Structure 1
Amino acid sequence: MIVCNLVSATMYASVPIAGWLDQLTLTHLFIAALACGTSAVFFNTACHAYVPVILAKQDLADGNAKLHVSEAGTRVLGRSAAGFTAQALGVTGGLLLDALTFLVSTVCLLGIRIREEKPGRQAGATGLIREIAVGLRFLSRDPYLRPIVVYGATLNLLLMGYQAVQVIFLVRTIGVSAGTVGLLVMCASLGGVLGALLAPRLCRLWGNGRALVLTQALACPFALLLPLTTPGLGLLLFASGAFVLGVGVSVGNVVVGTFRQSYCPPHLLGRVSSASMATNQGTIAIGSALGGILGSAIGIRPTMWVVTAPLALTWLLLALSPAGKARELPLAVSPEHHNGRSAGAASPPGAAEGQP
């Protein structure tokens, strides 16, 4: 995580420095974006696997909720502050400030005093490709993780599909100002803050399995409000839809993240998290491209309908899975679903260490 922070800080700082030296090129920007994006994936995967090292099992849900609250809250503040920062400091000054935030994050990480044991290499896992295959095999065979990942990938595909055209939809089709667009888009992040705050309480009240399915069943249909948006009071439809979707996505991230951390054997957690994130990141890219292509081919509002109509039904992927039938999701892998050979594990089946 520290290395990823330092790479990102260097890449962000390199852009304004190259600009001052009159050496900034489009290739430089592509390389910086690729390096920062790759670092973010490694950082998020490592962070997910690191949380169980720091927190006891009974504190995982609350800890994950706090992480998601801070993430959603700073996303709100960051997006609203970006324009003012660019005005006050200039674009280059804003990028240098962004680089500084990675250094602040590094100082925070260095302040963690808990010693993490270096994971041993598992029997039969002789290389990176083999280890990745072990994680993918575990994920594809598990009756709980597999449908959850399919749901997350499908949801991301459709969310990115409408988000790829939502600004154009609001500006050109609805005719709102740039400032209003920022406020409307921010509603999703505000919903994310509320969802992260509610997640632990809902899990205690309903059970984590039921909380996951019910919140998604309630939130997903609100996507249908987005293409119904009209000028004036009709903007409340977009704000409401984005807000409730944000609540649902955030609750789902907290519940799924905590479940995966508790459920996976410790030596497989990083690999399973990586496989899950790779799948979700892949559909994000596809969804963004799909939204742009559809917007050009059939128009913006029809694209919003084409994408949000199936989004409203995606919760059925969870409801019809084993997760949809359980009040509480299991705390460890069942030996009847996995064994040491299929998971590539040297430890006994079902071994787990407590842990978006």
Structure 2
Amino acid sequence: MQIPSKPDSPWRVPDFRVLFSATALSQLGTNVSYVAVPLIAVAALDATPGQVGALATLSTLAFLLIGLPAGAWVDRMRQRRLLVCADLARAALFASVPLAWWLDALTLGQLYAVVLLNGAATVFFDVGSQSVLPQLVGRGALVQANAAVVSLMAASNVAGRGAGGGLVQLLTAPVAVLCAAVAHLASALQLLAVRRRETERGPAPVQGLRAQIAEGVRHVLGNRELRALALTAAVSNLGSQIVNTMLPILFVRELGLPAGALGLYWGAGGLGLLLGARLARPLAARLGFGRTLAVAGLVLAPAALLAPLNGRGPWLWIAGAGWVLAMFKIGVDNVLGVTLRQRMTPDDLLGRMNATFRFVLTGALAVGAAVSGLLGELVGVRATLWVGAALLAVAFLPVFLSPVRTRRELPRQQATMTVSRTAPR
């Protein structure tokens, strides 16, 4: 394993640079498809709010179906091979959409299948990439490494979603989806350059799969700080998904704005994420880890209540400013929260810890999409936006009311800790 000579220098590790560049390509594909796929449903297939909600639900449903066992599987698998296979699967799935469109055979059913299977591949990619990161850079470099990755994801939100909206407007949504497929293929090829020798996996543990999953769940839910981080992130995801699911309908159908405007709006949110990620480390150094999370939530989370005011003219800018501030808060949370949970978890449990968080967090996205579609049909788009914004405004409370608020430093490194395989934690 290659560890940088300085604890805050992940860039000294060649494999981290490879993982970072591959993640950039993968995130570009993810964000372009994030804009293009629902716009295909709305503009080309005349999808209703309920159908758009179903599409968004299926895109994250895999985390509920296989999210927990995926963690146990990742802990036993060769992670580079896993990441490559996941990206190749996503490239093939997205390539099928423009092919069907050109053959005049594209249906909502195919879109449903593509986003569901893409979600399954994303489960393994996300859990695997978060689990391999501490092994590549060492735990002393996790804050800077996570800040770099979260900043990259936020920048990809800006570039990818902005590019997605522009590609849809200029070249049609199916061509934009093809570009997403090419980005995932390029990511898979880049990951082949990772040289880190895979850690030899020991013999299969005595525990069955269910017991291994339960061990990871107990680790997260049995710790007050990890539990609070999970609850805050889950409510944030629930609220943001309720809002984001209705935005294509609001922008394109109700406000009559071009696809590029939606891409720019989502891109502005990505800019907020980027700024939050970049400033998380200096803020934590000045205020302390826990206080930064608490203050960011208390001051910035209520700005989400401006999002439902979206409209033409100045209201678009006011709502956009609120969305940027809300996403800034989430950018801070992502860097500090992910680092904290990685530092509080032994190497043996990283896959299952990450899978448990992904199950809860992305499960909240699936629920949020379903709720958004249902509310959109029953009470309308505007009322649904208010529900999502209200959840975002109060999402910080679990962390604010937990011991996380008083934590100034990261916990001691646990890189060498071994989890018992014979007794529950």
Identify whether the pair has TM-score above 0.5, normalized to the shorter chain. Answer: yes
Structure 1 segment 159-174 matched on structure 2, within 5 A: 159-170=240-251
For residues 171 and 23 of structure 1, the distance between their equivalents in structure 2, rounded to whole angstroms, comes to 24
Report Cα offsets for 1:182-214 as digits up to 9, x if no partner: 322321111111111111222222222222222
Structure 1 segment 95-244 matched on structure 2, within 5 A: 95-120=177-202, 123-126=205-208, 128-170=209-251, 176-229=257-310, 231-244=312-325
The partner residue of 1:11 within 93, 97, 108 is: 93
Q: Which amino acid aligns with 1:254?
A: V
Tell me how far 1:332 sits from its aligned partner. 5.3
Superposition CA RMSD, Å: 2.8
Report Cα offsets for 1:230-250 as digits up to 9, x if no partner: 542232221111101111111
Report Cα offsets for 1:99-158 as digits up to 9, x if no partner: 2212221232222222231343575423x3332122112212112111111111111112
For residues 106 and 393 of structure 2, the distance between their equivalents in structure 1, rounded to whole angstroms, comes to 44
The partner residue of 2:371 within 249, 272, 290 is: 290
Tell me how far 1:342 sits from its aligned partner. 8.8
The residue that corresponds to 1:73 in the other structure is: 155
Structure 1 segment 333-344 matched on structure 2, within 5 A: 340=420, 344=424
Report Cα offsets for 1:217-260 as digits up to 9, x if no partner: 22211012223445422322211111011111111111111112
Q: Which amino acid aligns with 1:241?
A: G
Relative to structure 2, which stretch is displaced further, 279-288 or 230-239?
230-239
1:306/1:102 CA distance change after superposition, 3 Å: closer
For residues 72 and 182 of structure 1, the distance between their equivalents in structure 2, rounded to whole angstroms, comes to 14
For residues 14 and 227 of structure 1, the distance between their equivalents in structure 2, rounded to whole angstroms, comes to 35
Q: Does structure 1 conserve the Cα–Cα contact (< 8 Å) formed by 2:155 and 2:274?
A: yes
Structure 2, unaligned stretches of length 5 or more?
1-82
Tell me how far 1:178 sits from its aligned partner. 4.4
Tell me how far 1:344 sits from its aligned partner. 4.6
Q: Does structure 1 conserve the Cα–Cα contact (< 8 Å) formed by 2:87 and 2:187?
A: yes
Q: Does structure 1 conserve the Cα–Cα contact (< 8 Å) formed by 2:288 and 2:409?
A: yes
Q: Does structure 2 conserve the Cα–Cα contact (< 8 Å) formed by 1:124 and 1:344?
A: no
Relative to structure 2, which stretch is displaced further, 247-256 or 161-170?
161-170
Instruction: Name the SS of the counterpart of 2:323 in structure 1.
Output: helix
Q: Does structure 2 conserve the Cα–Cα contact (< 8 Å) formed by 1:160 and 1:284?
A: yes
The residue that corresponds to 2:341 in the other structure is: 260
Relative to structure 2, which stretch is displaced further, 289-298 or 274-283?
289-298
Report Cα offsets for 1:298-340 as digits up to 9, x if no partner: 333333333323432221211111112222242357xxxx984
1:298/1:92 CA distance change after superposition, 3 Å: closer
For residues 48 and 12 of structure 1, the distance between their equivalents in structure 2, rounded to whole angstroms, comes to 24
1:86/1:257 CA distance change after superposition, 3 Å: same
- Provide the TM-score with structure 1 as the length reference: 0.85
The residue that corresponds to 1:350 in the other structure is: none
Q: Does structure 2 conserve the Cα–Cα contact (< 8 Å) formed by 1:2 and 1:106?
A: yes
For residues 69 and 118 of structure 1, the distance between their equivalents in structure 2, rounded to whole angstroms, comes to 32
Relative to structure 2, which stretch is displaced further, 158-167 or 142-151?
158-167
The residue that corresponds to 1:46 in the other structure is: 128
Q: Does structure 2 conserve the Cα–Cα contact (< 8 Å) formed by 1:165 and 1:300?
A: yes
- Provide the TM-score with structure 2 as the length reference: 0.72
The partner residue of 2:327 within 246, 265, 289 is: 246
1:162/1:198 CA distance change after superposition, 3 Å: same
1:344/1:122 CA distance change after superposition, 3 Å: farther
The residue that corresponds to 1:277 in the other structure is: 358
1:2 and 2:90 correspond: no
Q: Does structure 2 conserve the Cα–Cα contact (< 8 Å) formed by 1:138 and 1:343?
A: no
Q: Which amino acid aligns with 1:52?
A: P
Kindly, what percent of the aligned residue pairs are identical?
Answer: 34
Tell me how far 1:60 sits from its aligned partner. 1.1
Tell me how far 1:51 sits from its aligned partner. 0.4
1:155/1:86 CA distance change after superposition, 3 Å: closer
Q: Which amino acid aligns with 1:112?
A: V
For residues 42 and 67 of structure 1, the distance between their equivalents in structure 2, rounded to whole angstroms, comes to 17
Relative to structure 2, which stretch is displaced further, 305-314 or 282-291?
305-314
For residues 275 and 233 of structure 1, the distance between their equivalents in structure 2, rounded to whole angstroms, comes to 42
The partner residue of 1:59 within 141, 146, 159 is: 141
1:216/1:178 CA distance change after superposition, 3 Å: same
Tell me how far 1:96 sits from its aligned partner. 3.5
Q: Does structure 1 conserve the Cα–Cα contact (< 8 Å) formed by 2:343 and 2:410?
A: no
Q: Does structure 2 conserve the Cα–Cα contact (< 8 Å) formed by 1:137 and 1:342?
A: no
Q: Which amino acid aligns with 2:321?
A: S
Structure 1, unaligned stretches of length 5 or more?
346-356
Report Cα offsets for 1:26-70 as digits up to 9, x if no partner: 544433322211101110000000100111222211111111222
Instruction: Name the SS of the counterpart of 2:196 in structure 1.
Output: coil
Q: Does structure 2 conserve the Cα–Cα contact (< 8 Å) formed by 1:224 and 1:308?
A: yes
Report Cα offsets for 1:151-186 as digits up to 9, x if no partner: 111111122122222344455666655443332232
